[in-house]
Amino acid sequence: MKFIRRSLLSYSRWMVCVHRGRLARCSSSNADGTEGAGAAAGGWPRRVVSGLQPTGALHVGNYFGALRRCVREQDAGHDLTLFVADLHALTTHHKGQSLQENTLELTALALAAGVDPARSLLFVQSAVPRHAELCWLLACLCSQARVQHLPQYREKAALVPRGGGAGDGGEVPLGLLLYPVLQAADVLLYRATHVPVGADQQHHLQLAAQLARTFHHRYGPAFPVPRAMLPDDGSDRVRSLRDPSRKMSKSDRDRRATILLTDSDDAIREKIRKAVTDCTPHVSFEPELRPGVSNLVALHCLAEDKLPEEAVEESDGLTTAQYKRVVAEALCGALRPLRARAAELRARPRLLRDVLRAGAARARLRADHTYAHVAQLAGLAQRPPRPALASAADAVSSPISE
Ligand code: TYM
């Protein structure tokens, strides 16, 4: 334990130095622009919760759309819980070893992006069994039809390869159906009031809100009604560089469609150079009419914290080909320090595991607290909450499970 505390302390000091400059620039990205740190939502304290799947390297959509916004919430003084959603990743991912590697990679990126384990909770979802327990309880309040109508379920179910799905015959795994219910459990377990996510997660958050209300009506109030925090700066839906009618996605087979946070400067320049635009040579921001060029403007703005009008004005006289070079340099400038910090952290797997282990111990306390209340309301047998810190047996059970 001493070692963990020492590591966290030294890491935390390092983080303060690294992010001191950035803190000065960060503004609160409250969804409604009205609430200050610690303000309540419907009587509940403000809590920000989000998750990232360890299904491969993060791309700029994940970063600008979710991770960076989480960090800004933290830096504005809000209570942040961020977890690696490895249980969700199991619905599409099957190789145990790479899941663990991706988990460490993602943890390094989250820390490099500014998540501070001294102020925020950072942990792996599967290290807190209450996620799955609450998922079951919520699943009993949710119809199959409700979940089957969700667009993400339909998209993912359609992609299950014939003969390669849950088992015999390539059936859609039950986990895909439960995915949004587990996501509801993730946010309700920590009594989230605000959930920074990309636009693709909006329907899932609507389900979480509905399940919070259903629970309330059936058993009594146990959770705030969470809401998705969707920004209006274009970061909620970063588009594919190859097909701007679609969102940028980790699972895109065309590698040029996605800018990864681990991409080198040269790779970023090349991908932006190949980005699909249109035949009009000048730069404008018209997302409906010109989705490709507008996506580049959005990326430029996200990288340099500016408004589309400013970016378009600055690019006056440039062709789209010339403008691509500006966008590429803006992205390289924004991602280079992040990439360097993540590489340093990635070389310290022990530190990463310590951070996750300590985060999970704190997360379990919160989760136990909520779950005890929920179980009591639902009339379930009570189990005494787990002790505050992991036991020695827990600590050696898995390389990164805590
Ligand atoms: P994941 O890992 O697929 O995505 C992580 C976050 O990135 C956002 N995102 C995007 N934002 C803008 N533009 C894009 N092109 C883009 N692509 C992805 C996603 O909306 C997400 O916020 N289901 C979640 C993981 C999760 C979760 C949760 C999130 C599990 N439980 C509870 C919030 C709360 C997901 O899709 O992760």
Confidence at residue 161, expressed as pLDDT on a 0 to 100 scale: 72
* CATH code, domain carrying 262: 1.10.240.10
Catalytic residue, from 247, 274, 306, 324: name it. 247
Please give the distance, rounded to the nearest whole angstrom, from the Cα atom of residue 2 to the centre of ligand 1: 35
Residue 235: predicted pLDDT: 86
Q: Report yes or no on 112 lying in a domain.
A: no
Residue whose C-alpha is closest to residue 131's, from 92, 189, 173, 207: 189
| Within-domain flag for 64 | no
- Asked whether residue 302 is assigned to any structural domain, the reply reads yes
Number of structural domains in the chain? 1
- Given a cut of 50, the residues of the chain with pLDDT beneath it are 1-4, 6-39, 164-165, 167-168, 388-402
- Does ligand 1 have an atom closer than 6 angstroms to the CB of 86? no
How many Cα neighbours within 13 Å face the side chain of 356?
30
Residue range 155-183, pLDDT digits in tens: 888 887 765 445 445 688 899 999 999 99
**pLDDT for 159:** 81
| Nearest-angstrom CA–CA distance, 131 and 189 | 7
Catalytic residue among 2, 95, 156, 274: 156
Q: Compute the half-sphere exposure of residue 55: CA atoms within 13 Å on the CB side of its CA.
A: 17
Report yes or no on 309 lying in a domain: yes
Ligand 1 atom 3 nearest Cα: 53
Determine the structural domain holding residue 271 and report its residue range: 238-341
Contacts of 379 (CB under 8 A, 6+ apart): none
pTM: 0.87
| Domain membership flag for residue 315 | yes
- Looking at the CA of residue 186, tell me the nearest atom of ligand 1: 32
Rounded CA gap, 125 and 84, in Å?
6
Residue 39 in domain: no
- Whether 311 maps to a domain, the answer reads yes
Establish whether 156 is a catalytic residue: yes
In a domain, 261, yes or no: yes
Choose one of 52, 181, 237 to mutate for the ligand 1 pocket test, by most ligand atoms within 8 angstroms of C-beta.
52
- Of 124, 201, 223, the residue with max ligand 1 atoms within 8 A of its CB, to mutate for a pocket test, comes to 201
